[in-house]
Amino acid sequence: MRLEKSKLSNLGLLEKQRIRFSVPESDWNDWHWQLRNRLRSLEDLERYFHLTGDEVEGVKLALQGRTLPLGVTPYFASLMDPIDPGCPLRRQGIPTSKEGMVGSSDMLDPLAEEADSPVPHLVHRYPDRVLLLVTNNCPMFCRYCTRRRIVGQTNEVPLPELEPAYNYIRKHRRIRDVLISGGDPLTMSTERLEEIVRRIREISHVEIIRVGTRAPVTLPMRVDDELVSMLKRYHPIWMSLHFTHPNEITPEVEAACSKLADAGIPLGSQTVLLKGINDSPLTMKKLMQRLLRIRVRPYYLYQCDLAQGISHFRTPIRKGIEIIESLRGFTSGYAVPTYVIDAPGGGGKIPVSPNYLLMHEHGRVLLRNYKGYIYEYRER
């Protein structure tokens, strides 16, 4: 394995240092090989990266079990800058000592998922939909993970342990939408994932099945013909993806998303607003526009949660509002996600928007448009 220069000219990216893994192409494109060869130790990282002291300390904390485990696929590592610690993709995969700092507002379970869990592995917060957690494993352990209290502790949930969840869904006929998440469900074999999808699809009142995954971004070779063929058998299937930065959109990622979209699977992206990674209007605009080009609809822009050890990633709320204002009217409406705060304590997603409604009284409404001009609308 060696360091080389390469230019991603087809994506319009600047020339940068790239890590090259000297392995056969057949191995590189094998998602099982990628998972087996994740960078999991200090030695692994030091083989390819010039680590800072802050990063070395962060890796040690992760290896001691004091923070989120360490794990980066070779594919995603190849996109990181081996020299620059400020690389937005590198900051997502390589821990720093800041993860060991717990702020006064930090919470172990910031979204109170455990309080809304009527049976193991199931979260029922909203009336007509539930979250089914089927694994604690991920291709890459993103350093801002909100579910870091459980991710990486074990691997797949034993299938018999999901029986109470199936029974709960079956008994509650208001549930029409099931989101399969984790961890990342696409770390499981296609056969195992199909068993879960099949059991849910057998419940007559479940209309929609969603799969929440970041694998098409961190492990795009996971989206193979076998997976896509299986998912097509259980329509309507939707997929919630998780993009963070425009540099994540590579030819491999585009190919993976094309396979899914061509199979009739609607794709949406949930992006977390992260300080120093994507908290600029220009970066976010590039990301949202590139997502549309690969047929992924920007869905949510999340304010970073109050999980322990990730306060260094959080931005002020005004930054998120500023970004939405920079998108609304200045690019396609399809490229404007809904900015939300997932309320601490289990309050659910609350939309936060710029103030375009200036006055509403006596049937008279004053509105501000994206350029700042004021307009009047009369209700009668």
Domain locations in the chain as residue ranges: 2-100, 122-351
Determine whether 36 is an active site residue: no
Establish how many alpha carbons lie within 13 A of residue 146's alpha carbon, considering only the half-sphere containing its beta carbon.
19
Do 77 and 47 contact (CB within 8 A), yes or no?
A: no
Q: Does domain 122-351 have CATH number 3.40.50.300?
A: no
Which pLDDT score is estimated for 155? 82
Which pLDDT score is estimated for 380? 86
Name which of 144, 142, 151, 145 is nearest 65 in CA terms: 151
Catalytic residue among 16, 60, 98, 129: 129
Determine whether 126 is an active site residue: yes
Which pLDDT score is estimated for 16? 54
Determine whether 290 is an active site residue: no
Interatomic CA distance for residues 348 and 245, integer angstroms? 25
Do 160 and 112 contact (CB within 8 A), yes or no?
A: no
Catalytic residue among 145, 149, 210, 214: 145
Which pLDDT score is estimated for 103? 87
Catalytic residue among 44, 81, 279, 342: 342
Q: In the sheet where 364-368 sits, what is the strand order?
A: 357-361, 364-368, 374-378
Which pLDDT score is estimated for 153? 73
Interatomic CA distance for residues 338 and 288, integer angstroms? 12
Determine whether 302 is an active site residue: no
Catalytic residue among 30, 98, 126, 328: 126
Catalytic residue among 75, 87, 142, 279: 142
Determine whether 305 is an active site residue: yes
Which pLDDT score is estimated for 18? 73
**In this structure, which amino acid lies at residue 109?**
D
Determine whether 171 is an active site residue: no
Residues 6+ apart with CB under 8 A from 269: 240, 241, 242, 243, 291, 296, 297, 298, 299, 337
Establish how many alpha carbons lie within 13 A of residue 52's alpha carbon, considering only the half-sphere containing its beta carbon.
16
Catalytic residue among 16, 232, 349, 368: 349
Catalytic residue among 38, 147, 285, 314: 147
**In this structure, which amino acid lies at residue 357?**
L
Determine whether 147 is an active site residue: yes
Name which of 319, 329, 333 is nearest 278 in CA terms: 319
Q: Which residues of the chain have pLDDT under 50?
A: 1-15
Catalytic residue among 38, 44, 305, 314: 305
Determine whether 129 is an active site residue: yes
